Amino acid sequence: MVAILLIIVIFQTSAIIILFYINGKSIKFARLAIFYKWQVLSYKSRKKKPKISNQFRLAAIILKMFNKNWRRHIFIVQPETVIKWHRELFKKYWRFKSKGKPGRPKTPTNIVHIIKRIAKENIGWGAPHIHGELLKLGTDICQSTVSNYLKKLFPDPQRRQNWITFLRNHAGEICTIDFFVVFTIRFQRLYCLHFINHDRRKIIHFNVTAHPSQKWICQQFREAFPYDNAPKYLIRDNDKKYGHEVKYLTEKMNITPVKTAYRSPWQNPVAEWWIISVRTELLDHVIILNESHLRKLFKKYIEYYNQDRIHLSLKKDSPEGREILKLPIGERKLVAVPKVGGLHHRYYWKKAG
């Protein structure tokens, strides 16, 4: 069967070449017809639909343009398919020809990035507000253009703030409290209670005792917030030390306790990180003699912690703030001031004598 088809294809191919030669056509178009015939033979022998490339379609269109009897020589596709290819090619040609014609200018990429940045960083800013800010920046752009990019960036008109912005706005009203245990040289257990403000990570109050009763805890609350400056929220764990007396006092001071889940210290990260800092920067380097000794060491460390120690969450500043020193002109000398008994230091510039 394949041999018969091969003979038929060779016969038809020879006839096409003679036809093109008689009409004075180029031999290239005869080669195109030969290519189509071989495609028919491949299709009929393998019973598999061949893959049609763009070059094949273009060749068919060229054959149609230069040979009026092109329908007789093509069996692999329908004539309507070739006409469809021609129309698609004309669309691409017209699109290419129309490219670069005058029209509305495209918004520069850097302006689009500025619009998106301003919209993300400012909750509630609409197109008029952002457009006004762009005008102040010396950018000449239409307000409708800003509005179109806002619709693409925020399909939902009621944009919501992220958690970081929410926590920053409420950090000043959040305080955390927690206990941790320290053992003395005689293995006496001491309980350390600390209050930390979430806004600047500042240690508000600290104390040590061997017997943390409810009355003692209530007294620490009064010393930590003496002038009606208690925070609105207090994060703590589910320790049984916070009994009914502590609960009554917090309600009287208008403090809302926020309890963490059981065995979930990660839900109070500010307190837990401070405990890690105390142990690695102080307690791992000393031996506690008694309660008085621990209280003195903590007093020195908290002074260093609030005034001198830098924090990554505060953009490498201290809780109480440290000024940036200016380099003195001429020769200078670096002076180290010991803190916490020499475990840590603070540095200053001093002019060389």
Question: DSSP letters along 112-161, please?
Answer: HHHHHHHHHHSTT--HHHHHHHHHHTT----HHHHHHHHHHH-SSSS---
Q: Is residue 107 part of a domain?
A: no
- Specify whether 223 is located in the same domain as 136: no
Q: Is residue 81 part of a domain?
A: yes
Host domain of residue 149: 112-160
- pLDDT greater than 90 at residue 29: no
Both tokens of 248, joined, read 């009554």
Q: How far apart are CA 243 and CA 111, in angstroms?
A: 59
Q: Is residue 104 part of a domain?
A: no
Considering the chain, what is the average pLDDT of its residues? 80
**Which letter, b or e, does each residue of 201-224 get, where b requires 16 or more Cβ atoms within 10 Å of its Cβ?**
bbbbbbbbeeebebeebbebbeeb
- Specify whether 310 is located in the same domain as 332: no
| Residue among 221, 229, 174 at smallest CA distance from 201 | 174
**Hey, which bits of the chain come out as E strands?**
174-183, 189-197, 203-209, 233-236, 256-259, 332-339, 344-351
Q: Is residue 106 part of a domain?
A: no
- Specify whether 152 is located in the same domain as 196: no
Residue type, 195: F
R_g over Cα of the chain: 41
User: Does pTM top 0.85 for this prediction?
Assistant: no
- Specify whether 267 is located in the same domain as 329: no
- pLDDT greater than 90 at residue 301: yes
CATH number of the domain encompassing residue 217:
3.30.420.10
Q: Is residue 133 part of a domain?
A: yes
Domain count along the chain:
4
- Specify whether 305 is located in the same domain as 201: yes
Q: Which residue has the higher pLDDT, 321 or 19?
A: 321
Q: Is residue 132 part of a domain?
A: yes
What digits encode the pLDDT tens for the residues 51-100?
666 666 666 666 666 666 666 555 556 667 777 877 888 888 887 777 76
pLDDT at residue number 39: 57
- Specify whether 221 is located in the same domain as 255: yes
Q: Is residue 208 part of a domain?
A: yes
pLDDT at residue number 124: 72
- Specify whether 145 is located in the same domain as 185: no
- Specify whether 88 is located in the same domain as 207: no
- Specify whether 291 is located in the same domain as 197: yes
- Specify whether 152 is located in the same domain as 178: no
Q: Is residue 46 part of a domain?
A: yes
Among 4-18, 33-47, 123-137, which stretch is predicted with the lowest mean pLDDT?
4-18
Give the number of other Cβ atoms within 10 Å of residue 3's Cβ.
7
